Amino acid sequence: MKLFFRLLQVVLPVFSVLVGLKSFAVVAPFSASKLDCQTVLTRQPEIKVEFKPGEIKALFTSAKTKIELALAQFLKVPKGERNFDNTLLAFENMTDEFVSAVLPAIYVGDLYPSQKIRDESTEVNEMLANYITEFNSNVAIYKALSSVKVDVGIQADLKAKLLKSFEDAGIHLAEDKRDALKAVQAEYSNLSGRFMSNLQKSERFFEFTFKDLTGVAKGKVDELEKSESGYKVHLGNATMVAYLLSTIQSPSVRKRLYKAFRSRVPENVDLLEEMVIKQQKLAEILGYKTYQEVVIDEDTLASTPENVTQLLKTLKDTYKTQSQSILEKMLALKRVDEPKAKQVYPWDYNYYDRKLRENNQQESVIDENELESYFPIWSVVESMYAHAEEMLDVKIVEIKGASTWHPDVKKYQVLDPKGDVIGNFYLDIFNREGKNPTIAYAAQLVSRRTIGESQQLRVSESILVTSLGLNKRDLKVKPNDIGRLYHEFGHILHSVFASASYRQLNGYRMSFDAVEIPSTFFEKLPWNAEILVKISNKNGTGEKMPLDMAQAVIDNHFKSLQSGFIKEAPFTSRSFQENAIFLSILDQAIYSEAALQGENFNIREVYNQAYQDFYGVESVDDGDFVGIFLHLGIGMSAQYYAYLWSHIYSTNVYFQVVNMGVNNPQGYIDFYDKFLSQDNRVEPSEMLDALLGGQPDLVPALEYVGFKK
């Protein structure tokens, strides 16, 4: 089972991962009886969220010293005296305690207002990665765990998971190969840390004259920062860049902005190329032909790289065929502006998508300012919580005065029907200096689990970080932003409710293509008219959006999807779907070519070829784009396909829920009872078979985004 990181850096959430190779996540499920939970545990770790320089490093050193002492005692137990309690359970608890102490500090430190604290977090992150590399190659630990005799039941399952984590890390290799593996891992960890640091610290802007901004609404111009030449936009602000590409009239300015956005961290390109070569070496040392074989195996829903390739081919062919007619319509519009135009280029997509929709007389034209007035950010957040409370019989309550790393951050408790705390989470949604404006993730800081014979409950601690392009002065959001917020909230709900007797068996510890199912399910909910009306609250007055207006908003959204374009898509690509297809194809191509080319691997050439094949034109950034391909920098390499794979499953789940009634709790309870409430002793494919009554159907997933059968 691979551990998915939702981290900004290469941090190992658990002790069962090979750095940069096998990726796991840690988030969480619901109980079968609508969360009839037990009393809260006394062994609840205290989460520290306020730091002074040096404190994160000191915390790591202290936790490392503590686990080293525990490990020394652990290894002294004679083989003949080893049993479940003094070996398997002891190991589970010592590693759980270490991770619960260190991981929150690294997550929080990365978000801290102080650059010194953020740099310290990055340094400790690399220290942790290197320490875990050593830990996972400790033969004495592996032999101790192997020596315990447990035949069946949960204890045997725990033993199997613990052993597999070492086996995935190459414990079976000869000593010289283990040493080579550790050396490559350390090099990879250093490169990844530098990659993420460059991305986070990037302060590149694009400057405009007033004339360059012809076509942009005055209100949006006023939001831009002033510069010597007129105005400027931070190239990390993807939401604003996408808007500008949809409104700037000058094709040359659009092209320069598009190129600058994709080329904003060029120093990362060579780093990523080295990282890919290191990962290929790791794969070869472990006995695999390609890195894809390492991360796409029987533990994933996809099972094999070949299955991923086949899905991507199907999606690419379908999408390209069905988007051709819309491109022709866009070209006709472009020829009004440029009579000799022969092609619509990627930097034109947002602009002519907007014009195409405006020219569509059958489409309701909704004023953007009027639309945003219905979605004050805190009303959206409260409505999102209220829907979860209603469907899952819980309460989500803000903890007033809680310690946080920034005044804008809020902390919440999740309570079961009896009023017992079952989880806490932090919400960090506003832009600020030092916070990467392009990132969004949810992460579990401490996993929920039952401990000991009394089965007392330790609650989870989680964090939701998202980028909605919001500053404190800008407190209204667009429906597209609401979908992003719901996506991460899906992870938070999973994190809060997942529980198991042992951390290693936590239900969220599943492959990336499975762990994204709840998030991609929840992101679909705001695109239901009934729910959109519930979320709305015009200027905070309590006035709801009329149902016909909500339906028009949704119809317009899906027309954008069906046309193959969406105005504020990530990376300002042709659409969210096409963007995901291209990035998935690029991701797989990078690791396939790395295996074929070896030391001659050239990541720019791979990118340029993939771009040409997909878009039919030469790239304008000459491969610089890979320098901002976040997922490849944080150890989720060769796994971007998972967003598409999970979309197929989550769409089937979504329609199953909608058929019962989008406000009917039963559909949600079924989802959690049969999928999220399971621990990881059951494979995700088996959970989904039980939930859906068989394998998922690709057709609903295609139709949801506008593809025809």
List the structure tokens of 612: 């040409």
**C-alpha atoms less than 13 angstroms from C-alpha of 314 in its C-beta half-sphere:** 17
The residue among 677 and 289 whose pLDDT is bigger is 289
Query: What one-character-per-residue DSSP string does 648-669 give?
Result: HHHHHHHHHHHHH-TT-HHHHH
CA distance 273 to 596: 14
List b or e across 238-257, with b for residues whose CB sees 16 or more CB atoms inside 10 angstroms: bbbbbbbbbbbebbebbbbb
Under the banding of pLDDT at 50, 70 and 90, the label for residue 10 is very low
CA distance 347 to 255: 5
Phi-psi region of 502 (alpha: psi -120 to 50; beta: other; left: phi over 0): beta
Q: Convert the pLDDT of each residue in 125-138 to its tens digit.
A: 889 988 988 888 89
Residue 164: which H helix or E strand, with range? helix 153-168
Q: What is the pLDDT of residue 72?
A: 95
Task: Give the length of the chain.
Answer: 709
* Beta carbons within 10 angstroms of residue 362's beta carbon: 6
* Mean pLDDT value of segment 630-639: 87
Q: What is the pLDDT of residue 613?
A: 92
Q: Which of 257, 322, 320, 347 is nearest to 613 (CA)?
A: 320
pTM for this predicted structure: 0.86
Checking if the pLDDT of 29 tops 70, the result is no
Phi, psi angle pair for 297, to nearest 5°: -140, -160
Q: What is the pLDDT of residue 440?
A: 77
CA distance 645 to 587: 14
**DSSP state at residue 79:** G
Under the banding of pLDDT at 50, 70 and 90, the label for residue 25 is very low
Checking if the pLDDT of 1 tops 80, the result is no
Under the banding of pLDDT at 50, 70 and 90, the label for residue 479 is confident
CA distance 591 to 598: 10
365 burial (CB, 10 Å; 0-12 / 13-18 / 19+) is exposed
